[in-house]
Chain A
């Protein structure tokens, strides 16, 4: 877990339940996305060097 201060939240596009007509997913239909480029960087930063060890240490009992 990070203990850094929380960064400012990114701007929120429209599309909630406040009744606004504008925006929503339709407005973003053709929006370009740099998802995959960003994902490369994010995965490199998030992934441990030893996934087997990570999975072994993060074993969970069942719940509910």
Chain B
């Protein structure tokens, strides 16, 4: 059976809550964070920035000041989930130590991917090694990426909405096209970048439309289902053909705003289809090939987990409220709103009134609004209110103007709770629920997460990289690491890791290849 290879990049949000004025700026803290990594973890400097660790992972500070942890190359979905969690623990401990060093600062490290105040977003990208034809990928894969959010969505709110519009996937409003090679502007459902970071014959599918998740089951399906669909395509199957969509971006927006999962979108071949039906189609395509040599050994249990979740969504199984990130959030956010006096139907009335009462600029793109906000210093999530129109809209909806501030306070609380949900460490909302034993997201056989902080996956080049990092760091030998090479200036040797499945050290004295773009 053919092995698959994949990994996840997690960009974290590091927030500094100052109870008193600190001399440290955010840049100082990020420098201190990386300094702490170098003090406490065996590492080699990465060629571009940051470090590679002894588990084969890379840790660095990405653009926008986001600490980013890239898992080592993993060969099964549960392995990548284990290494994502290991990254959480590494970063969580480092940030905890920094906070301990700096009295008066409270640091919040979160895996949330959107900022409701600044209208900004940052990524949790997936990488999949494959040998398929990149040209066929968008057509075959886009319907899967559009519809998988029914189990991969992190849950959150629509930044464009003046009220409280829950979305399965809050990153969707930031997507502006179906296919694009950009990742900071004009983000697309399908990211066309194809840097293999390996041999010229290898390709790397880079998925940027997803979000960081807390649920182990959802994380497993995010990677597992996508890798299986990719395996089908690589084998020459055309699973996307019969579910091609007329307007993928609009379809994704429709599905994201439909927590009842009843919305259907037009198919290119005629008719309409729901997100669940698209996913069931892809699942059945994979199931028809179970046992085929091009599928990995873990295909069957992933298909079983995939089917269970789709059946649960179809049957509106309450247990999913304790499994999937967006279902957990929706359940507890709605309860919090009820507790504050805003049950679902009342929130809907406030949403209608606020939509009619604020000055909207639909002709402006998100980017234009961000630029305007940057220039003016006005947070773009707080739309300008036309008081007369709002007063009339509230009167039409028979809503008490005196409750407006209560509704807006609820809105701010829920935005905070979204950040708190995926806060790394014991104080996070998800972590608190998990500790209370009310969630059913764990995976049996996930393995030792603590060990994964120092131990690379055994079945990929990450095992060699991790071993070499440990060896050279112990000798304090200066060397530079990259995904596909390690260079030792002292000896003039270069370790070739361009074969993603290489398990032996192959040092040579030849000059290192040109640096990889990143």
Interface residues of chain A, those whose CB is within 8 Å of chain B, are 1-4, 6-7, 10, 12-20, 23-26, 28-31, 33-36, 38-43, 45-48, 51-52, 54-64
Contacts and interface: CB of A to CB of B under 8 A. Distances in A.
Interface of B: 11, 13, 15-18, 62-66, 68, 76-78, 89, 92, 95-97, 99-100, 106-109, 115-118, 120-123, 125, 183-184, 187, 208, 217, 220, 224, 298, 300-302, 304-305, 308-309, 312, 317-323, 328, 331-332, 335-336, 339, 370, 409, 412-413, 415-417, 419-420, 423-429, 432-440, 442-446
B301 A16 contact: yes
Contacts of A35: 321-322, 328, 331-332, 433, 438-439
Q: Which of A3, A30, A43 has the most CB of B within 10 A?
A: A43
Contacts of A18: 78, 301, 444-445
A60 to B, nearest CB: 4
Contacts of B434: 10
B429 A46 contact: yes
B442 A60 contact: no
Given A1-B427, A60-B15, A33 B416 contact: no
Nearest to A19: B301
B408 to A, nearest CB: 9
Give 10 closest A-B pairs by Cβ, nearest first: A63-B122, A58-B15, A18-B445, A63-B64, A61-B64, A42-B432, A62-B120, A39-B332, A16-B443, A51-B412
A28 B443 CA distance: 13
Contact of A17 (B62, B106, B302, B439): B302
9 contacts: A15-B217, A16-B220, A31-B319, A31-B440, A35-B321, A38-B436, A60-B120, A63-B68, A64-B123
A25 B305 contact: yes
- Secondary structure call for the A interface: loop
B319 A10 contact: no
Given A7-B426, A47-B420, A16 B78 contact: yes
A42 B65 contact: no
A48 B308 contact: no
Contacts of B183: 64
A40 to B, nearest CB: 7
Contact of A13 (B63, B100, B444): B444
B444 A12 contact: yes
Given A51-B412, A63-B63, A63-B123, A42 B433 contact: yes
Given A2-B96, A38-B438, A15 B443 contact: yes
Q: Which of A29, A45, A51 has the most CB of B within 10 A?
A: A51
A36 to B, nearest CB: 5
B415 A17 contact: no
A36 B331 contact: yes
A11 B18 CA distance: 37
Given A12-B443, A12-B446, A60-B64, A7 B435 contact: yes
Given A31-B319, A33-B322, A42-B429, A17 B442 contact: no
A47 to B, nearest CB: 6
B429 A25 contact: no
Contact of A57 (B16, B417, B443): B16
A60 B122 CA distance: 9
B185 to A, nearest CB: 9
Q: Which of A13, A48, A64 has the most CB of B within 10 A?
A: A64
A17 B78 contact: yes
A18 B224 CA distance: 13
Given A3-B100, A63-B63, A51 B413 contact: yes
Contacts of B323: 25
Contact of B92 (A1, A25, A42, A43): A1
B436 A57 contact: no
Given A25-B217, A55-B419, A64-B123, 4 more contacts: A25-B319, A35-B322, A38-B436, A60-B115
Contacts of A36: 331-332, 335
A20 B446 CA distance: 13
A7 to B, nearest CB: 6
Contact of B416 (A1, A47, A60): A47
B209 to A, nearest CB: 11
B427 A33 contact: no
Nearest to A52: B412
Nearest to A34: B438
Nearest to A33: B322
Contact of B426 (A2, A17, A60): A2
A7 B432 CA distance: 11
A20 B304 CA distance: 10
Nearest to A62: B120
Contacts of A62: 63-64, 118, 120-122, 184, 370
Contacts of A59: 115, 117-118
A25 to B, nearest CB: 4
B224 to A, nearest CB: 7
A43 to B, nearest CB: 6
